[in-house]
Amino acid sequence: MAKVRRVPVAELQPGDLLARDVLSEDGRVLLSTGVRLNRNYIWQLRQHGVEAVYVPDTSPPKPAPELSLRLRREVTQELRQFTDGLRRTMEQATATVRLPELELDTSGIRRAVVGVVREVLTHPAAALPLQELRQADEYTLLHSVEVCLLSTMIGRAMGLQGSALVDLAMGALLHDLGKVGIPTAILNKPDRLTPEELEVMKRHTTLGWVLLREQPDLPPEVALVALQHHERWDGRGYPMGLAGEQIHLYARICTVADVYDALTADRVYRAGIHPTEALATMAGPMREMFDPKVLQTFMNAVEHVQRQGTA
């Protein structure tokens, strides 16, 4: 993959070549990869508030651990505010208000997701989980952020671009949104769930779909990720027992990211396993759960990122 460097818009010159798509705050592609800039294009970037773009570079890319850590914290905070607000709204709703009638303000979430996509497009290594943050933030929120980053990395490797990549990232970030309706005692139980509690937990997929499907500013694919991310390639998942390509591609991508992060994250009742062991488990005993193409793409992407990190 060609190396790129970040250039502030104020320093751009006519003739500079874009090495990455430039996205607006709402996820639209303003200018595509390969466009050669002129004065009008540079003016448009300023008008849209774009701070910097990426151009080809021959020098080695600098690692950005601080940027990656800051991004995670910003997205986690945005998601925390969003889910806390939704939970309060649900608690205050009267019996005459149906869940699909709750209109959610997703503008802040969308801005955060666009930031995720921009980061992963430029620094794929940013998608790999950071242990530093795991020690400080609650599992459910950070898990959603990590699944968003990993899903974006997979989507990028599978050729998704522009709004499609943003929609995937949005669905991945909100895949567990339905957990706002699950009792806290079950969500935070410091032990494995009983069969009865597990059935209650499973409702989060349908609840997330109900909350997201009627939102006017969200594409239907976002709600489908919430509904289908526990479906399995072999048909043994829930809530509908879908199999193969009956499951939306974005949900199949999210499933791989979801399981990988769940395996590698520390929980109260067990320690996470090493990333290498997690990949071996997913490619071995668990392989029938996943779309083979998505799983292989993910494994190749992780290997590529790790190889770059040791080069």
Q: Which residue segments constitute the domains of the chain, with CATH numbers given?
A: 4-56 (3.90.105.10), 65-310 (1.10.3210.10)
pLDDT per position as a tens digit, 80-118: 888 888 777 776 654 444 555 566 777 888 888 888 888
- Give the tokens for residue 179: 């957990």
pLDDT, position 147: 94
Could you tell me which of 250, 71, 90, 235 has the C-alpha nearest to residue 175?
250
CA dihedral 305, 264, 292, 148 (to 10 degrees): -70
Query: Model confidence at 67, in pLDDT bands (50, 70, 90)?
Result: low
Q: What percent of the chain has pLDDT over 90?
A: 42
pLDDT, position 311: 46
pLDDT per position as a tens digit, 104-159: 777 888 888 888 888 888 777 777 765 544 543 467 788 899 999 999 999 999 99
CB 39 within 8 A of CB 9: no
Q: How far apart are CA 172 and CA 188, in angstroms?
A: 21
Examine the pLDDT at 299 and tell me if it is beyond 90.
yes
pLDDT, position 137: 40
pLDDT, position 241: 97
CB 214 within 8 A of CB 222: no
Q: How far apart are CA 67 and CA 20, in angstroms?
A: 18
Q: How far apart are CA 222 and CA 168, in angstroms?
A: 7
Nearby residues of 209 by Cβ (< 8 Å), 6 or more positions away: 178, 223, 224, 226, 227
What is the phi/psi pair of residue 258, to 5°? Answer: -60, -50
Examine the pLDDT at 22 and tell me if it is beyond 50.
yes
Average pLDDT over the chain, rounded to an integer = 84
Residue 5's DSSP bridge partners are 55
Query: Model confidence at 289, in pLDDT bands (50, 70, 90)?
Result: very high
Out of 59-63, 126-130, 195-199, 283-287, least confident range: 59-63
pLDDT, position 219: 93
Sign of CA dihedral 50, 52, 54, 55: positive
pLDDT per position as a tens digit, 208-225: 999 999 888 899 999 999
Query: Regarding beta strands 22-23 and 29-31, do their DSSP bridges make them parallel or antiparallel, or are they unpaired?
Result: antiparallel
pLDDT, position 1: 47
Q: What would the mean pLDDT of 284-301 be, rounded to a whole number?
A: 95
